[in-house]
Amino acid sequence: MNPLARVLVAELSERPRHFGELVEAHMETAWRDFLLAWGEVRAADILGRDDDGRYLIRAGAVVS
């Protein structure tokens, strides 16, 4: 995982967040770089969702 993808995973491990909250926290990052990092998080198959649509790291998910 690239460094930004790791940061995103760390933020989601802290608490569930809406995608928009993650975007807002990284507005200094170029949009394309953000989307590439998000794509890595998605591809890792570690995400879950809560009832309000927030992303979270699934219990027991292995982050490589």
Partner 1 sequence: MSHGFREFLRALEDAGELLRVKKAVDPRHLSALMAQASQATFFEQIAGYPDWRVAGALVSTRRRLAIAMGCSEAAIATRFEESIRQPIEPTLVDRAPCQDVVLTGNDVDLTRVPIPMMHVKDGGPYISATLVVSKDPEYGRNVGSYRLMYRTPRETGIDLVSPSDMRVYYQRALDRGRPLEIAVAIGVHPFELLAASYKAPIDVDELAVAGGLHGAPVELVRCRTVDLEVPAHAELVLEGELLPIGWTADEGPFGEFSHITGEVKWNPIFRIRAITHRRDPIFYVLQMPWENDWLAAPVIEAAGLQALRVASVQPVAIRAPVGGCCYWTLVASIKKRPGEGKNALLALLSVAEVKLAIVTDDDIDIDDPDQLDWAMTFRVQADQDVLIVPGARGKHIDPSVRAAAMGKGGLPTTAKLGIDATIPEGIPRSHYERLRYFAKDAVRLEDYR
Structure tokens at 26: 């990284």
Q: Is 56 in the site for partner 1 (CB under 8 A)?
A: no
- The four Cα atoms 23, 24, 25, 31 give a dihedral, to 10 degrees, of 40
> For partner 1, which residue of 20, 59, 60, 64 counts as binding (CB under 8 A)?
20
What is the nearest approach in angstroms of partner 1 to the Cβ of residue 14?
A: 19
| 21 closest CA partner among 8, 36, 6, 5 | 8
Binding mask 30-49 for partner 1 (x = CB under 8 A): xxx--xx-xxx-xx---x-x
Q: Is 2 in the site for partner 1 (CB under 8 A)?
A: no
